[in-house]
Amino acid sequence: MKIAVLSPISWRTPPRRYGPWEQVASNIAEGLVDAGHDVTLFATEDSVTSGRLESICRHPCSEDNTLDPKVWECLHIANLMEHSDEFDIIHNNFDFLPLTYSKLIKPPMLTTIHGFSSPEILPVYKKYNDNNAYVSISDADRSPELSYVATVYNGIKIDEFTFNDQGGDYLLFFGRIHPDKGTYEAIQIAQKSGLRLIISGLIQDRNYFKERVEPYLNENILFIGNSGPEKRNRLLGGALALLHPINFEEPFGLSVAEAMICGTPVIAFNKGSMPELIRHSKTGFIVESVNEAADAVTAVNTINRIECRDWAVKNFSQEKMIDSYIKIYDQIVNL
């Protein structure tokens, strides 16, 4: 089967550090190649793939401020659509914009909805629902106004993460520095627990960082910036627990699954997909508040780190994701 995988161009595919949608698009493309399919990845020119790479944008838009994202997004999507006849199916990981081409091209389009940035984008999804197949990345992230062919959890390359059966003595916050992700709440949890906290992530909201994070940094609350794959692996595996006190209905949460693959339990607020990702009291704890999270820290040693890994490998592996997508492709192409 000839498959086009459309990735965003905000970051490289796969990302050097931050870029969750690009990471998933890469895992899809590479997994399909490994499964024997003819794959073309549409991404930035500096992207890396074992399939064919098609690009029109030389650099990621978030890494080159001379690029107008709207202009290059249009050119990027149009580039795929102008080659659409070459493929049996298009797998869209670029949100709603490519849907507007879907009635103008021959091959079917599967769109993985990686989340809804706003209810304002729903009219596009609704208009093209009848001639498109939508996949959600968690049951929690489904709109009642849309129909879906399946839920497929994001799949992770297991061999990129090292199981650590001991863990360490620090708590970890790994994610965007933004109110949605709860960096300040993680600081509060660490302070109440009396444990060291390492914060790693992209500063997405600089005012939030200056007002709610920077004033609390000291020898016990450390901010180490954004981390690439190797450092991420060490940080996740070496943590006593990952703190994930989110303040929004998160569609998935790659770092949650990645931490568990390393054997590290996760303490998360009860929002969005967290009850689907975490087995309460088995691979971590689902809590309602900072105080409950601090209490959960004291119980982290009751979690079996092998069970954390086994659960994550069983449910969130690249292989499981690819098997699910191939079945969906077959259904769509053979309609």
pLDDT one-digit tens code per residue, 259-310: 999 999 999 999 999 999 999 999 999 999 999 999 999 999 999 999 999 9
Instruction: Give 69's contacts (C-beta < 8 A, 6+ positions apart).
Output: 9, 10, 61
CB–CB of 210/187 below 8 Å?
no
Burial 124-150 (b: 16+ CB within 10 A, else e): ebeebbeebbbbbbbebbbbeeeeeee
The predicted pLDDT at position 37 comes to: 97
Q: Architecture of domain 2-155+317-333 in CATH?
A: 3-Layer(aba) Sandwich (3.40)
Q: Where residue 170 falls among pLDDT bands split at 50, 70, 90?
A: very high
pTM for the model: 0.96
pLDDT digits (tens, 9 = 90+) for 235-254: 999 999 999 999 999 999 99
Domain 158-315: CATH architecture, name and number where available? 3-Layer(aba) Sandwich (3.40)
CB contact at 8 A, 62 and 72: no
pLDDT digits (tens, 9 = 90+) for 48-65: 999 999 999 999 999 999
pLDDT > 70: what percent of the chain?
100
pLDDT the model gives residue 9: 98
Name the pLDDT band for 334 (thresholds 50, 70, 90): confident
Same fold, 2-155+317-333 and 158-315: yes
How crowded is the C-beta side of 14, counted as CA atoms within 13 Å? Answer: 17
Burial class (CB in 10 A: 0-12, 13-18, 19+), 108: middle
The rounded distance, in Å, linking the Cα atoms of 265 and 43 is: 34
**Terminal CA-to-CA distance of the chain, rounded, Å?**
15
For the chain, give every domain's residue range. Answer: 2-155+317-333, 158-315
Q: 């990302």: which residue's tokens? A: 15
Whether the pLDDT of residue 335 is over 80: the answer is no
Sheet of 150-151, strand order: 52-54, 38-42, 2-6, 89-92, 109-113, 133-136, 150-151
Q: Average pLDDT in the 125-130 region?
A: 98
